[in-house]
Amino acid sequence: MVIDMHHQYLLHPVPPLLDRYDREDIWSLQLVELRKNLAAHSAVNRAILTTGNKTEMRLRLSDVLMKRERDLMVKRMYEDGLSMIVGGHVIDGRLSFGVVEDEIEEESDVNNG
């Protein structure tokens, strides 16, 4: 969830930790490096395990980094106030989705009678 990103994973990893999803980079990490990366994220979210075999840890780190990238993208969109097209309407990205959906439903009800 974008609201509590700082509780989900490390927001700003610094080298030698990976700061973005790159399959080749992740799959080239050795066991110690995988554990260090996962441990950094686990420090803010104890649900992130730092154990397992290399494949399990690579997949886990991939999931964490992909989620982080998606959340950061949504956060940037929200902060930048990018316009979105929803149901053929240009909507200011800073509006909450609940408000947008309610407005579209109300407009649809008016148009449909």
Q: Which residue has the tokens 């439903």?
A: 105
Nearest residue to 32 (alpha-carbon basis) of 15, 20, 17: 17
Greatest alpha-carbon pair distance for the chain in Å reads 64
DSSP conformation class of 90 = E
Express each pLDDT in 77-96 by its tens digit.
777 665 555 555 555 544 44
Q: Which residue has the tokens 């420090």?
A: 43
Q: What is the pLDDT of residue 5?
A: 84
Express each pLDDT in 36-85 by its tens digit.
999 999 999 999 999 999 999 999 999 999 999 999 988 887 776 655 55
Phi, psi of 5 (to 5 degrees): -55, -40
> Token pair of 20, please?
């973005």
